[in-house]
Structure 1
Amino acid sequence: MKLFGLVGKNIGYSFSKTYFAKKFKENQLNNYTYQNFDITDIDAIRQVFKTKNLSGLNVTIPYKEQIVPYLDDLDPTAKAIGAVNVIKIDNNKFIGYNSDCYGFSESLKPLLQPAITKALILGTGGASKAVAYALQNLGITSTYVSRSNENDALHYDALTLKIIENHKLIINCTPLGTHPNVDRFPNIPYEYLESQHILYDLIYNPSETLFMKKGKKRGATVINGYQMLVLQAEKSWEIWHS
């Protein structure tokens, strides 16, 4: 038996469990199973690591950064980002990787245009750091936006017409708008958006958030996080079997 799983908090909605269960069934991997490890504190990861037949893990909110000190080593990309969403178990060593940056980058590439040179990243968590890393590799300058002024981030109240005009790509890395709280959305000045803007929401449930709907009303191109999730999941699979 080979056991894979997802580590996170309040993860009953898990995309990963459904995705990998289907993958195992389609590939007739009858000795493979996937389990949610819903923990209330990161220190509980020590017990998760002792789980019998554990072969690989995904990591989600809010532990992508918190889990780093518990690992034996980091892949260079994960080290550069400072956040982990994949753990490979090799000779009882737990090694952290980041496949979020790959999933985001590859899902964004088809939408890019020459006008996209600057981006606003809403939120400063683990996913936002993977997004910033991916944008840097794509030659796009990014600026964080936060409710606090941490990490030199802009405050939402500081988003002027000029700033919105100069940043044609806006990525929501916050959980605002996630089911069941579908009436919530990041507080940006949507009235300044135009048709050249791209609004990328890392949320996949619902498939169209209020953030996306408000962008569409202004003529912006919108995309949700589903394709990113699929791509990062397949990259996880590749990492576990490399």
Structure 2
Amino acid sequence: MKKFGLIGFPLSHSFSKKHFTEKFAQEQIADCEYDLYPIENISSFPELIADEEICGINVTIPHKVGVMTYINQLDEAAAEIGAVNCIDIRRENGKAVLKGYNTDAYGFETSLFPFLKEHHTKALIFGDGGAAKAIKYVLHKLGISFLVVTRKPAEGTILYEAVNEEMLREYTVLINTTPLGMSPNVDSCPQIPYEFITEKHLSYDLVYNPELTKFLERSAASGAAIKNGLEMLYLQAERSWYIWNS
């Protein structure tokens, strides 16, 4: 039996378990299972991977950084972003050899790229938490300059109050990395002047539940192209499967 799974805490619900369980059934992939491993303290991780049937692990909050202590190799994206969300486990002479990847970057870039137009050269990133790390990496890779917008003053960021008509004329890619608008708080959204958004804007929300967040709804009402984070999630999952089987 090949075992795969997700570590994090808490793990009350999981897109990954549903996705892979359905994938194994639909594609008739035998002798594979995907489980949830709610680990409160990352120090429990070596005990988990001592199970020689475990071949691959996805990682979610709060362990994307802490798990790096146990990784033998990092891919370029994971090293530069400073976070791991996919681990490939190979056994050599009875010892587990772990390589860490960041599939957030792959999922975001692949889902964003088809929407980009020539005038999309500058972006505003709303929020500066863990989710923003991969976004910055991808924008840098694509040659899109960006500003990070936060609620509280922090080095290298601007406040929401600074986002005005003039700035929105220049920054036409808008990316929400905060949980604002996520169910059940569906009426919340980044506090920006939506009346200055135009058809030249692209608004991308990492939130996917609901599929149409208030941020996307208000952006679309002003003419912007919109995209939520659901495809990014599917792409991340499929990238993990590719990594584990390549």
Q: TM-score, normalised by structure 1?
A: 0.92
Q: Does 1:123 align with 2:127?
A: yes
Q: 3-state SS of the aligned residue for 1:132?
A: helix
1:5-47 deviation per Cα after TM superposition (whole angstroms, max 9, x unaligned): 1122333331111111111112222311111223334444344
1:161-193 Cα distance to aligned partner (Å, 9 max, x none): 222221101111112222222222222222221
Task: Tell me, yes or no, if structure 1 residue 110 matches structure 2 residue 117.
Answer: no
1:48-63 correspondence runs (5 A):
48-51=48-51, 53-63=53-63
Structure 2 SS opposite 1:182:
coil
Q: Do the aligned partners of 1:65 and 1:126 also contact (CA within 8 Å) in 2? A: no
Gaps of at least 5 residues in structure 1 are none
- Indicate yes or no: 2:187 matched with 1:197: no
In 2, the alpha carbon distance for the partners of 1:43 and 1:182 equals 36
Q: Does the 8 A contact of 2:164 with 2:192 survive in 1?
A: no
The runs of at least 4 aligned residues of structure 1 exceeding 4 Å deviation read none
Bigger Rg, structure 1 or 2: 2
Distance 1:120 1:142 in 2: 6
The two structures, once aligned, show a CA RMSD in angstroms of 1.8
The 2-side partners of 1:47 and 1:182 are apart by: 39
Change (3 A) 1:112 1:18: same
* Structure 2 match to 1:214: 218
Q: Does 1:165 align with 2:169?
A: yes
| Among 212, 225, 229, the residue aligned to 2:229 | 225
Partner of 2:23: 23
Mapped to 2, the partners of 1:87 and 1:146 lie a distance apart of: 31
CA distance in 2, matches of 1:8, 1:151: 29
Q: Which residue of 1 aligns with 2:70?
A: 70
* Structure 2 spans left out of the alignment, 5+ residues: none
Deviations 1:185-222 (A, max 9, x none): 22222222111111101111111111111111211111
Structure 1 stretch displaced more, 48-57 or 161-170: 48-57
Which residue is equivalent to 1:240? 244
For 1:6, the equivalent position in structure 2 comes to 6
Shift of the alpha carbon at 1:234? 1.1
TM-score by length of 2: 0.90
* CA separation of 1:39 and 1:146: change in aligned 2, threshold 3 A: farther
Match of 2:235, SS? helix
How far apart are residue 93 of structure 1 and its match?
1.9
Number of paired residues? 242
| Structure 1 position 51, deviation (Å) | 4.4
Q: Which segment is superposed worse, 36-45 or 232-241? A: 36-45
**How many Å separate the matches in 2 of 1:206 and 1:9?**
22
Distance 1:214 1:72, change over 3 A: same
Q: Structure 1's 147 and 40: CA in aligned 2 closer, same or farther, altered over 3 A?
A: farther
Displacement, 1:117?
Answer: 0.1
Structure 2 residue identity aligned to 1:60: T
**Could you say if the C-alpha distance between residues 68 and 188 of structure 1 is closer, same or farther in structure 2, counting changes exceeding 3 Å?**
farther
Provide the C-alpha distance between the structure 2 equivalents of 1:230 and 1:88, rounded to a whole number of angstroms: 18
SS at match of 2:89: strand
Match of 1:182 among 171, 181, 186: 186
Identity among equivalent pairs (%) = 43
